[in-house]
Structure 1
Amino acid sequence: MKKLVYVVLFLTFLACKEQVKPVEKQEEQKEETVVLNDFPEELRKVFDAHGGLNIWEKQRTLVFDLPKPDARETHTVDLISRKDKITTTNFSIGFDGQHVWLLDMDKSYNGDAVFYHNLMFYFYAMPFVLADDGINYGATEDLKFEGVSYPGIRISYDNDVGASSKDEYYLHYHPETFQMQWLGYTVTYRSGEVSDNVKWIRYADWMDINGIVLPKSITWHNYEGKTIKEEKSTVTFENVELSTQKKGATFYQKPEEAAYVTKE
């Protein structure tokens, strides 16, 4: 009789143990899934057309080169902390999480490091940077170009979000594929005043990096309001890398010879 009781207890223990395992597995899967309920349905489809937020959110480090006549720039960004670093043969710019620094021993850099340090990252990492916190989504009229009407989403920011919270963006996507096609944006960084001058970039050249669809090049166009005109200039991106690994603890820190810079 005792043996029978032990057998029953043992089988009961195994049954309970087997029932617990699926619950733990479901919890792990739930933690790895990005919640998309706060985004407009159309924006969710745009994210999906570019590989999906679930894959993007697993990436930690983005690297890309910008070939320029004077010096090739290598941009490195921590996608979680948003620390960044730009290196060239002549100068380096970095953001350590709190402050922007500039290493420019021969005084060859004549731009605004605070404005520039993450500028190209935001243009390059579209549409995924539009999933950041502090963003508001609204409606905007279609953008028409060469006989096609591209639906759009208006993006604005909460106060004190980023360096220019009064900036606005207009993402326009293909009506059938939902792939991003155009980005309109205003610049309020230096004035601090709301602007109605919307500049336009065409996104029509893409590449697949680890399942994420990112630009191979982007092209600024001349414009009159929302009337898009001829091409103005193109920026290409080379040697693109996406990694789930982060850089070492000192990678984004200010070098001893560098100096912190403030908004001009």
Structure 2
Amino acid sequence: MSPADPGPAIPRSQLLAAFDQLLQPERFKDYGPNGLQVEGKADIRKIVSGVTASLALIEAAIAAQADAIFVHHGLFWRGQDGRNNGPIVGWMKQRLALLLAHDINLFAYHLPLDAHPELGNNAQLGRQLGLQADRRFGGNELGFLGGRRDGGQFDSAEALAAAIRQALNRPVVLVGGAPAAIKNIAWCTGGAQGYFEAAIAAGADAFITGEISEPQAHYAREMGVAFIACGHHASERYGAPAVAAHVAAQFGLAHEFIDIDNPA
């Protein structure tokens, strides 16, 4: 687009309504506010998507001339809602100062983005790994359970871990292992290690998530179910761009995904 022809624009309120209609945040009791977290310019032509509303992502969005940022991890957590109250100091001040100075809207959706059956983090990670879910489990039915899309099996937990390593292009942590070929695979992105017991109860031979905590190593060894941690950020790189691209295409807006690398 030339400066004289900047492309179509829609009102902020219309974009927010589209995100809310798609992700239905009212269905979730979440760790922080979903939706518009920081108000920017009234008309939006370009969306930048990313995983986390970090300073680096905000700076990259400014360079990309974005009017809005769409992320999974917003600015406010655990009852802290800076839209109404709370201290704005330190890193929070830095991030907000940049957003406000450049009049950029910040949209953030946490559990609703994990849960969407086609565009969400879990659905998109499954697509990336060649997995197909046939049922859901756990709180808010965030966990996905299924198997390989081609109907095959993995010969071992090590073979599954190697496939994940190749698909995500990063090291993974494997603890425990099924005694036979792995058919039933459960997954839940991010910090969902607490879903491991529910995955075992649902009949999983292996469980994939972003992080592992101390108890899960013991459960994996004792229950004969493989636990694979592939990185919080790495497991949640796919939902935000899928949703933002879908909504941008709906209105003819420009969209760009910017991945700020994170080893965690």
TM-score range, shorter chain: under 0.3
- TM-score, normalization by structure 1: 0.25
- TM-score, normalization by structure 2: 0.25
Q: Which is greater in Rg?
A: 1
